[in-house]
């Protein structure tokens, strides 16, 4: 009755590299859209759900242990989104910490998501550019009201390193002073006790911090409309 349909999973794997938000993509060697960049992914297997599938497919590109967060973004289902057999895609956001440098296949590389003239994205295959846009928007939103930063940052880091990560991901400057205060007040960060040596130009040595948790948690319960009797925002003793 309905024509044959395939189901694929696609992942926009993001990482902060060289101070810029970058996405992992491979260059298509064969038509359609040959020469363009495409997101890693592939057909859903018979015995797996989409979450399992995307992790399996990613394992072929990067060491899975490097992927600190995976999250469903949306379904892309326009009938003409790829030529040939109809193919429905479930898109995911994946995150890799900035200190990881996983080995990738020869056709695969990181590409900056330059903000206004998305040069790399102009060459994206099919609707993959839209998927990357959605993934980036999701990351930006969740950085603000969850502890998702843990997925972008190394295990231990200085506040200014973290500030650079946030600034690169959000696309605007971030104040180290306020970032530190806000994240510690929310109990998202904690000091490790250790210090990082100053750089060649001198300066006071920086304290090292870590994320208190490494699983996603909403830290800024949304503003209005909480049950009565909870005082202000986060009921913290």
Residues that bind a second copy (CB under 8 A): 1-7, 43-51, 72, 74-75, 77-79, 86, 88, 90, 141, 143-145, 166, 170, 172-175, 178-179, 182, 220, 222-228
- Taking the C-alpha atoms of 44, 92, 108 and 25 in order, what is their torsion angle to the nearest 10 degrees? 120
SS3 content of the chain, % helix, strand, coil (to 5): 25, 30, 45
* Residue of 101, 100, 217 whose CA lies nearest to 154: 100
Asked if 34 contacts 5 with a C-beta cutoff of 8 angstroms, the reply is no
Cα–chain center distance at 216: 12
Structural tokens at position 230: 């909870």
Choose the one of DNA, a second copy, none that binds residue 141, judging by a C-beta under 5 to 8 angstroms depending on kind. Answer: a second copy
Among residues 20 and 100, whose Cβ is nearest to a second copy? 20
Helices (H), the chain: 50-59, 119-122, 128-145, 159-170, 176-185
Among residues 9 and 143, whose Cβ is nearest to DNA? 143
Choose the one of DNA, a second copy, none that binds residue 90, judging by a C-beta under 5 to 8 angstroms depending on kind. Answer: a second copy
3-state secondary structure of 3: coil
Asked if 120 contacts 113 with a C-beta cutoff of 8 angstroms, the reply is yes
For helices 159-170 and 128-145, the axis angle rounded to 10 degrees is 140
Among residues 167 and 176, whose Cβ is nearest to DNA? 176
Nearest-approach distance from CB 205 to a second copy, in angstroms: 26
Choose the one of DNA, a second copy, none that binds residue 203, judging by a C-beta under 5 to 8 angstroms depending on kind. Answer: DNA
Nearest-approach distance from CB 48 to DNA, in angstroms: 39
Nearest-approach distance from CB 223 to a second copy, in angstroms: 5
Nearest-approach distance from CB 204 to a second copy, in angstroms: 23
Which helix (H) or strand (E) element contains residue 27? strand 20-27
Choose the one of DNA, a second copy, none that binds residue 143, judging by a C-beta under 5 to 8 angstroms depending on kind. Answer: a second copy
Among residues 100 and 170, whose Cβ is nearest to a second copy? 170
Among residues 43 and 194, whose Cβ is nearest to DNA? 194
Nearest-approach distance from CB 65 to a second copy, in angstroms: 24
Among residues 35 and 185, whose Cβ is nearest to a second copy? 185
Cα–Cα dist 61/68, whole Å: 15
Pairing of strands 86-95, 5-17: parallel
Choose the one of a second copy, DNA, none that binds residue 3, judging by a C-beta under 5 to 8 angstroms depending on kind. Answer: a second copy
In the complex, the residues that contact DNA under the rule CB under 7 A are: 158-160, 175-178, 180-182, 185-186, 197-207, 220, 223-226, 228-234, 236
């Amino acid at each position: 009755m309905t024509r044959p349909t395939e189901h694929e999973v696609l992942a926009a794997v993001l990482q902060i590299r060289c101070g810029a938000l970058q996405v992992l993509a491979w260059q298509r060697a064969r038509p359609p859209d040959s020469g363009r960049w495409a997101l890693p992914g592939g057909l859903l297997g018979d015995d797996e759900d989409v979450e399992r599938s995307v992790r399996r497919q990613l394992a072929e590109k990067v060491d899975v242990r490097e992927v600190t967060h995976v999250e469903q973004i949306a379904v892309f289902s326009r009938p003409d989104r790829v030529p040939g057999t109809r193919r429905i895609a479930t898109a995911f956001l994946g995150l890799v910490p900035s200190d990881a440098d996983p080995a990738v296949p020869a056709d695969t590389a990181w590409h900056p998501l330059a903000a206004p003239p998305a040069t790399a994205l102009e060459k994206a295959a099919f609707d993959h550019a839209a998927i990357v846009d959605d993934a980036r928007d999701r990351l930006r939103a969740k950085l603000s009201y969850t502890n998702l930063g843990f997925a972008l940052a190394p295990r231990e880091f200085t506040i200014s390193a973290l500030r650079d990560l946030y600034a690169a991901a959000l696309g605007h400057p971030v104040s180290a002073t306020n970032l530190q205060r806000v994240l510690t007040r929310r109990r998202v960060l904690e000091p490790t006790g250790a210090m990082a040596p100053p750089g060649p130009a001198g300066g006071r040595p920086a304290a090292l911090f870590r994320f208190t948790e490494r699983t996603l948690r909403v830290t800024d319960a949304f503003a209005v409309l909480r049950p009565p009797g909870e005082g202000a925002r986060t009921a913290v003793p």
